[in-house]
Structure 1
């Protein structure tokens, strides 16, 4: 009897977010010919973050100045392309009601803003003297940025693949 009453209460529960008008409106509005711009631009800062860490590791192993210089370029372009990816993602978050209403979208946004600030710090730290910046803090920043990229990408991928947020539905 008690279990039946508990089940009846569970059956009565309604998710107020899922009942909100526009909950299913998750299609990308920041797109070029139906292709979401955020999904297209995010690949560059992700790859360049890994490149900055790789350049630091290669500088550590070889001592070649080239790798320290490559690290500053990779860190800088990761930050600049990250600004573009962040702008398209922010516009998507603010313009699409079905994305804006979900808490995981805001979690991804907060982590991505933190990542963007760390990418900028990594680049800024290297501008004055790229060789001296690699050890010890440059490689530590680059390594931490790689971990942050993985966390941000995991959350972003979950939004796309599990919730179908910010995608094109073919309409």
Structure 2
């Protein structure tokens, strides 16, 4: 039996795993900059967090669109419990970060400590869980893994 295929792909390479590092990095770095703001009260860190959250949200939407295309494109992916936990957890994370971004946009730096720091930390924990579920799909269920064996390459030890 062949592996579950990624519907959204370029030259056989799934797009979703190409996009997800961006929102993950942005949301984790937003937490780091929140902690830096909390410790230093330097407005640079507040501004950095706002921008990181904004860019992370935009990239998360792109990753989500491609993820939904993959989810709906193959029955075997749709039937995986891990796929739904991965998707649902990421939706929760994005909604939390959307609120986190909006509260900072409206209230400024007063929205960062303690609420923004706590929300950012919760999202980091959610991302650890959803990342684990995503890797479970790849490593256990071989979602998006090519069935074809590439040309063998010889390596030369010196």
> Normalization by structure 2: what TM-score?
0.88
Equivalent residue for 2:141, pick from 138, 144, 163: 163
- Which aligned pairs between 1:60-79 and structure 2 lie closer than 5 A? 60-79=38-57
Deviations 1:95-116 (A, max 9, x none): 1122112222122121121112
Query: Contact (CA 8 Å) 1:126, 1:133: kept in 2 or not?
Result: yes
2:156 counterpart residue number: none
1:85 aligns with 2:60: no
Query: Contact (CA 8 Å) 1:34, 1:170: kept in 2 or not?
Result: no
Equivalent residue for 1:55, pick from 33, 44, 66: 33
Q: Which stretch has the larger CA shift, 45-54 or 161-170?
A: 161-170
Which structure: larger Rg? 1
- Stretches of structure 2 that go unaligned for 5 or more consecutive residues are 150-158
Q: How many residue pairs align between the two structures? A: 149
> Normalization by structure 1: what TM-score?
0.81
1:19 counterpart residue number: none
- Which aligned pairs between 1:125-164 and structure 2 lie closer than 5 A? 125-164=103-142
- Which aligned pairs between 1:102-141 and structure 2 lie closer than 5 A? 102-141=80-119
Task: For 2:106 and 2:31, locate their aligned partners in 1 and report how far apart those are by CA, in whole Å.
Answer: 18
Moved over 4 A (4+): none
Aligned to 2:6, what secondary structure does the other structure show?
A: coil
Task: For 2:82 and 2:130, locate their aligned partners in 1 and report how far apart those are by CA, in whole Å.
Answer: 11
